[in-house]
Chains A and B, each alone.
Chain A
């Protein structure tokens, strides 16, 4: 398999972006992908979905995903076709949920410090590298354990488990 590459425009957010910001609880009974996508980031930027392009990347400060266990939060981001979430740090359940739904969650504090809203970036997930194509600067991040990388390659925990159960 070749390297797993993501390329997109940066949408930058601050610290402690909670699950209520990402998907307010009033939209939680929505389970259809297009409904989740349309309400992505509603709690902090109501027009977010109308502004983004598939493959764009969410960049946040400390502790993104703070708050509830709602998987609809990363699911909404994934359904909106955001390629990855890069942050200084992640809240615990949100981090697990990202991988479970097949959304790369990347800890890269140095990169987050430098990047600006609207920069074009390229992430080589397989190699653990990020290039800011707007500024030309390169960054490294520590990849998660191999089984989580496999979640991303296969599309999340369920396809991973299907594969395991077949073995």
Chain B
């Protein structure tokens, strides 16, 4: 019987010729990362294991991104403990200011085809962009992985999403992500693998693809996976000897296959409460905002900074709005500085914070007062995510930038500019 890409990765790693959805297998892990929010518990749990040693320190990384640079005394102490532990066990640390785990792991070349990648972060699913099986686990489980290099996995069913068509002017991959979330809801794809492919995916660059796969977590997926093409191979400098690029068999069995044509997609905005609350922007235009935010692993790539700069060039942020920009990696900042994007944004009135999670979880950056409203490119808008009582609308960088200029939710196509 044919297998899907996810099934093939699991079968290959578990040394089995065939796996089926529902089956539980034990599989070796190729790369594991911890972030500063979850590492303290993992370290504590690891130290409870008698005589535990790290299974392979070259396959592990700590990323200091959630409270970065340290935002409280307690966070500073956690960072110090992480650095001490990492030094003792010869593990690499992605330091404060380097960026959010998912883009950093991608930039450092650890996300590669056929790998099993685990992170102590739910949005780890975004690294499936590289043809890997990438998923999030909790701290205690990560302590066990650190000691054993292995994990139990239940083989998921796979749902195939085929994206056809071309995006219209001022419509972005983030709109595609919010559109998919709106269609599937918060739990429809619970435990499932999604394979996302099609002409739209082919047309996007690697980071634009990640903007979509990262958001897939909000539909409950176990992992999201995209095909490996020339763009991926160029990004990771070709494959290494041990790596395999898997394609689904012709007769692979999918739980369902869903096709979308994105050509007539409108800008999508998720209303407060759930990232899956998407509506077309026309339904929310005019809602006044106090803050506009460009941030998060999924919403503050170089392409997001570029998109915002195109809208903001020669314009000013509305005086009643705080426009907070938290890029997701230091490389994005370097590139944006070189091309003048940062000057454009600063001249327009943007407030920059260092590459980190920042506003995404209200980590002491851009926290909202009760009843304040924010429009944001971040991943989540559950109640209290940026502070109790604050309301969060999720949207693309173009919609956020246009709204920052107008002081209210605005269709980016109204301001023109951009493609």
Contacts and interface: CB of A to CB of B under 8 A. Distances in A.
**Are A and B co-members of a single complex?**
yes
Interface of A: 16, 18, 20-21, 24-26, 28-29, 31, 43-44, 62-63, 66-72, 74-75, 89, 91-93, 96-97, 100-101, 145, 147, 156-158, 161-162, 165-166
B107 interface: no
A163 to B, nearest CB: 11
A62 B80 CA distance: 39
Contacts of B263: none
A21 B382 contact: yes
B220 A29 contact: no
Interface string B108-135: 0000000000011110100000000000
B144 interface: yes
Q: Report which residue of B74, B141, B363 has the largest number of chain A beta carbons within 10 angstroms of its beta carbon.
A: B141
A97 B138 contact: yes
A97 B38 contact: no
A63 B138 contact: no
B41 A69 contact: no
A97 B138 CA distance: 6
Given A69-B137, A71-B41, A165-B51, 12 more contacts: A43-B384, A66-B186, A70-B38, A93-B137, A93-B138, A97-B140, A145-B24, A158-B45, A161-B144, A161-B148, A162-B50, A165-B49
Nearest to B147: A161
Interface residues of B, number: 51
Contacts of A62: 187
Contacts of B187: 16, 62-63, 66, 89, 91
15 contacts: A25-B363, A25-B385, A29-B67, A29-B78, A63-B220, A69-B121, A69-B136, A92-B220, A96-B137, A100-B140, A156-B140, A161-B49, A161-B148, A162-B50, A165-B147
B133 to A, nearest CB: 14
A63 B49 contact: no
A166 B67 CA distance: 37
Contacts of A16: 186-187, 274
Contacts of B190: 63, 89, 91-92
B380 interface: yes
B120 A92 contact: no
A159 B191 CA distance: 26
A157 B140 contact: yes
Nearest to A44: B383
